[in-house]
Amino acid sequence: MQIQSTHRDFIKAIVLGDAARAGELNEQIPDSERRDFHVFVTAFFTLMLEQQFEKDSSREAISKFVDELRYDFRDAQPPIQPLVVEAIIRASCGEEHLFDEVEPKDSFRAEFQVITKVSHQVPAVKARLDDFLSDAELLARQWDAEES
């Protein structure tokens, strides 16, 4: 597992709302790093879910969050896929069978949308961004070790 500075900088750009910079960084990531990059993003996404749903991860809370996300991203191109977003959140919160229903590319795009929303909604994310990035790296390494 190799987490590169471009991977960390990409998430920083997403959190700070710099889509142009995120796009530039994404183009710099070679195919040979994509797997590690995706695992790192998913680990960061998981930490964002913990921040958002720490007190209530019920279907109602998830549905409300997805409705808000749909409104926030109403002009996004490509448009958000609310069912995909809900499925990956619910899957991450314990309904793991739902991962089978989502294409990886759709899941990855939805993770970015959730990261963006949570980072704008939860002040601790920007305040402790480097801590969250380090925690995501540790989590990604842990997952990688478990797969080996």
Q: Which of 1, 89, 84 is nearest to 45 (CA)?
A: 89
Using alpha carbons, list the distances in angstroms from residue 102 to 4, 41, 53, 88, 98.
27, 17, 21, 8, 7
| pLDDT digits 0-9 by tens, 112-123 | 899 999 999 999
The mean pLDDT value for 33-43 works out to 94
| pLDDT digits 0-9 by tens, 56-111 | 989 999 999 999 999 998 998 888 899 999 999 999 988 889 988 888 888 888 99
Residue 133 token pair = 């990035």
Quote the mean pLDDT of the chain. Answer: 92
